[in-house]
Amino acid sequence: MTQTERRLYLINYLINEDSNHRNVEIPNDTVLQKRLLRSLMNIREAKPVSQEFINIQDKYLQADIGEVVSLASLTPVERGIYLWQGDITKLKADAIVNAANSSLLGCFIPCHGCIDNAIHSAAGVQLRLECAEIMKAQGHSEATGTAKITSAYNLPCSHVIHTVGPVVGARLTDKDCRLLADCYRSCLRLATDYGLKSIAFCCISTGEFHFPNDRGAEIAVDTVRNFRRENTDSPEVIFNVFKDIDREIYSKLLG
């Protein structure tokens, strides 16, 4: 199958499995088809899917990923610490960190710009299914500051570590700061326990959760430095930034 044939198969499958989608028209434009497919995947509940769908989806996503960036191509700014600006879904590391919500099921808003949406979209529907199994076994929402690990499926990394950052209200509190530090420690501890050699952190809570970018970066760098100082078996850390302002903040803090 060509990429177009795979994309149309996936779109038709998702339309036909839900009666609410039966009136959806498939556009001829490639960009609009890609957007429709991502939207249908984003809003899909965690439920069983055919093996044929998985096989075709996996081939489609892996062929569509584009250029992958490996840790070996990066230069450390400190011993065991890297700073990289780019799309975290293109990064080949042992684990990338997802800034999740308390349901841990990913973002259900079609084509939303959050990292949770980007990671689930690139990984495939299996990621939401695995997260749903974890949450069903747990029996309650994920607490802020904690973390869970899953497979990465069609992402170039090996694992995804999901953590729920604090949501900042009218003003930043000491509790918000403690919880954000807990996020970084929980992810590092989980990566260390699993024997992972590298972990890439996004800017947890500084987007949709309104944590101030500069203070969030300070907490991230301090927590990582302290953890690595106290744990000789801790993984190497990549601070992944997407916005120029975050690159400037981290550049001043590191090195």
pLDDT for the residue 207? 80
Six-digit token string for 22: 């039966």
CA distance 91 to 153: 13
DSSP state of 108: -
For position 208, what pLDDT does the model report?
A: 81
Q: What pLDDT was estimated at residue 227?
A: 98
- Asked whether the beta carbons of 58 and 234 are under 8 A apart, the reply is no
- Give ∠ CA 194-79-253 in degrees, rounded to 5: 105
User: Sign of the CA dihedral 149, 36, 62, 66?
Assistant: negative
pLDDT at 209: 84
pLDDT tens digits, one per residue of 208-254 = 888 999 999 999 999 999 999 999 999 999 999 999 999 999 999 99
Query: What pLDDT is recorded for position 88?
Result: 97
Instruction: For residue 211, give both structure tokens.
Output: 């944590």
Indicate yes or no: pTM above 0.75.
yes
pLDDT of amino acid 249: 97
What residues of the chain score a pLDDT lower than 70?
none
